[in-house]
Amino acid sequence: MCDTIILMTKTFQIAIDGPVAAGKGTTSKMVAARLGYLYVDTGAMYRGLTLYAISRGVDSENEMEVVSLIENDQPRIELKIPDGDTKDGRLCTVILNGEDVSWKIRTEEISHAVSPVAQYTKIRDYVNTLARQMASEEGVVMEGRDITGVVLPDANLKIYMDADPLERAKRRHRELMSRGEDISLEQVYRELLERDRRDMKRNLKVVPGVWKLDTTGMSIDQVAEVIVKRVESLK
């Protein structure tokens, strides 16, 4: 499909929620590229803060220490569109205090450690403030767990993206294997179901007025095309 950029008003906001491996990241990046918008991965922002805490010797499950560290140090997180040598399969370039940590935040260690950090109220406030600032400056495609209900409740288009759990596990397993991580599909599936349980109990909600988009059996390109057409219909 043609990747021609569609020129639109830079205040348009697309908010996407959904469980892990529903296709949110790759789809959001593709949609953002086609619309000329900034792709904002809030999950990557939480991962960046988790990496920062671990690198400072702070236990990610110690809320008081994590919050104190982030509030005192105010680590700077920037999201950029990959270009040049950074076009290496990443969804976005994540800069933490001037360092490119795009791949450092994608390990299983960070995946396990980020869950509690992403639930701390003050850390969520910290990330939400940064995300809203980005959305106030230009058109965005923003994805995460509570974007449609909390971060951008007045977004022009709100989407809840989902897929069959086993298909999501297979996607996640392929991603991990491609990065050289030795893990079975069965383990990935168990951990995905547990992650779903935690997320649904905490902050993953289907809010009123959201567009429920089931990506089961669809390619990323097909999903992106459907979303772009929906955006065009709203303009």
- Cα separation, 23 vs 159, whole angstroms: 12
Residue 45: φ, ψ to 5°? -70, -45
Burial class (CB in 10 A: 0-12, 13-18, 19+), 81: middle
Break the chain down into helix, strand, coil percent, rounded to 5: 50, 15, 35
- The helix/strand/coil state of 119 is coil
Domains 11-37+139-227 and 42-137 belong to one CATH topology: yes
What is the chain's pLDDT, residue by residue, as a tens digit (235 residues)?
Answer: 444 444 444 479 999 999 988 989 889 999 999 998 989 989 999 999 999 999 999 999 999 999 999 999 999 999 988 888 888 888 889 999 999 999 999 988 998 899 899 999 999 999 999 999 989 988 999 998 889 999 999 999 999 999 999 999 999 999 889 988 889 999 999 999 998 988 888 878 899 999 999 999 999 999 999 999 999 999 7
Residue 20: both structure tokens together? 């892990």
Q: Tell me the fold of 11-37+139-227.
A: Rossmann fold (3.40.50)
42-137 under CATH 3.40.50.300, yes or no: yes
Domain residue extents for the chain: 11-37+139-227, 42-137
